[in-house]
Amino acid sequence: MLKKILSLAVASTFLASPAFAAILDADDAALSTSISGRANDWSLTFFSIASVSNMKPGKEEKSNRSVDSYDYLSVNYKIDSVQKASMRLPWYFNTAGNNEYGDEVTSDFSLADIHFVYSNYDLGYIGDVDLSGKVKAYLPTSKQSQNQGLITKIRLEGYADYQITRSLSVAYVAKPDIYWQSRTASLNDTIPMYDDGSFYVTDPRQTNKQFGLEHYLQFQYDINSMFSVTTKTGFNESWYHTSNVEELDGNHTTALRLGVDVWIRPMRGLSFTLGMSNDTMLNSYRGQDVKIWQPFNTQYSLMTNAYVF
């Protein structure tokens, strides 16, 4: 089972009222299944996404795989019928077992980047295209961000949704990231060392990311009030600094992102999502041609969204 599951997600979020945007998109999908008309505009939600990565190429499959999870508690305030503000306290938790390299790892708990979210589900229309968006501001509270000298990261999320029929819609989604950092390079502490502990398997030095852009076209078919299917086709791009001190060149990478998800809403305030996605780097690796939808690039996921109180 673990061999075919890259991600396991357990998320709890009380989503917005039906007046809010109906685009199903990752953790923000919770916004489509909340109970409307609550007298109390404050809510507490919980989100968790756990993953088991496929083994790296050439590595033997292990039965005792470690599970990596990203979780957060979110305090939310509904400003009005179309606006919402949130503060999220996130953390990472990894279980003991074998990672994707086949190495034994111990369980670990660490703080992730605390962030603030402003959501507006009605930015107007361009013709029949419904516009909505979010702004997320991150603090460098995680060990990784502190090692990279992160000052702050801003993520902008824009959604342009067009209703083709009553059940079928298409949306263009763009999520640019902007990084402010005090240094241009850092050490990648996920690079393993040789068994004798003398050297890293590869050079652990890396240039820090300065910009990112995830953008894709998403088709959504609502079968009924309980079931929906979405497909995702787009790109995930990253731009990196040049480091004169470490003599490392900056670069730009582009990955083709494909995915399909089945959304299940058994009751108000609760939803499950079964998903499969694949990211393929669009450049050759060691002279090899690009191959789409390889097992080590594919993720299988189960996501749950539920309101806490």
CATH of residue 143 = 2.40.160
Q: Are 169 and 161 in contact (CB under 8 A)?
A: yes
Give the domain extent around 200: 2-306
pLDDT for residue 238: 95
Low-confidence spans in the chain with pLDDT less than 70 = 1-22, 26-39, 192-193, 195-198, 284-288
Q: What's the number of domains the chain is made of?
A: 1
Name the strand (E) or helix (H) holding 90. strand 83-94
Q: Are 110 and 142 in contact (CB under 8 A)?
A: yes
Q: Write out pLDDT tens, residues 256-280.
A: 999 999 999 998 877 888 888 888 9
Q: Round to whole Å and give the CA distance between 260 and 11.
A: 18
CA dihedral over 8, 280, 155, 123, signed as positive or negative: negative
> Pairing between strand 97-98 and 104-105?
antiparallel
Q: Are 71 and 93 in contact (CB under 8 A)?
A: yes
Across-strand partners of 84? 78, 119
**Average pLDDT across the chain, whole number:** 82
pLDDT for residue 271: 80
Q: Closest Cα partner for 210 from 186, 194, 246?
A: 186
φ, ψ of residue 181 to 5 degrees: the values are -135, 155
pLDDT for residue 284: 59
Q: Round to whole Å and give the CA distance between 23 and 169.
A: 9
Q: Round to whole Å and give the CA distance between 298 and 13.
A: 26
The count of C-alpha atoms lying within 13 angstroms of the C-alpha of 14, restricted to the half-sphere facing its C-beta, is 20
Q: Round to whole Å and give the CA distance between 257 and 33.
A: 26
